[in-house]
């Protein structure tokens, strides 16, 4: 199974970047995304798969990680509130994993 990892610092990103400039682009079509807010004590992160609509929220503290079965190769990210925020996204290509492994 192919795996890619990317991260983006959204500390100064209050709005999604331009539609032609996603925050992250993956070369493989993901079957599963593991998304972690690395600076999770400070601010949550909003994610979009079209650069306009909020599709996911990665919270703070206990809710600083989400798992999505999403096939989008482009992700736009912005901070949900003021603060230092770095988001890590790991995507896995191939068959979806058993949701019970996490």
Tell me, yes or no, whether 64 lies in a domain.
Answer: yes
Mean pLDDT calculated for residue range 14-34: 88
Tell me, yes or no, whether 82 lies in a domain.
Answer: yes
Beta bridge partners of 64: none
Cβ neighbors of 6 (< 8 A, separation 6 or more) are 24, 26, 88, 89
Domain count, the chain: 1
Tell me, yes or no, whether 75 lies in a domain.
Answer: yes
Tell me, yes or no, whether 46 lies in a domain.
Answer: yes
pTM over 0.85: no
Tell me, yes or no, whether 102 lies in a domain.
Answer: no
Tell me, yes or no, whether 19 lies in a domain.
Answer: yes
Tell me, yes or no, whether 87 lies in a domain.
Answer: yes
Look at residue 99 in the predicted model and tell me its pLDDT. 56
Indicate if the pLDDT at residue 12 is higher than 90: no
**73 is in which domain, residue-wise?**
6-97
CATH of the domain at 42: 2.60.120
Look at residue 101 in the predicted model and tell me its pLDDT. 52
**pLDDT tens per residue across span 40-99:** 667 888 999 999 999 999 888 766 888 888 888 899 999 888 776 788 877 676 544 455
Tell me, yes or no, whether 1 lies in a domain.
Answer: no
Cβ neighbors of 83 (< 8 A, separation 6 or more) are 11, 39, 42, 43
């Amino acid at each position: 199974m192919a795996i890619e990892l990317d991260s983006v610092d959204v500390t100064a990103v209050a709005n999604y970047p331009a539609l032609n400039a996603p925050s992250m682009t993956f070369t493989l079509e993901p079957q599963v995304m593991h998304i972690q807010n690395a600076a999770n004590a400070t601010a949550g992160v909003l994610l979009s798969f079209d650069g306009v609509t909020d599709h996911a929220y990665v919270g703070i503290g206990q809710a600083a990680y989400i798992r999505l079965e999403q096939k989008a190769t482009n992700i736009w990210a912005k901070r949900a509130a003021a603060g230092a925020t770095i988001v890590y996204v790991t995507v896995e290509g191939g068959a979806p994993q058993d949701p019970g492994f996490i």
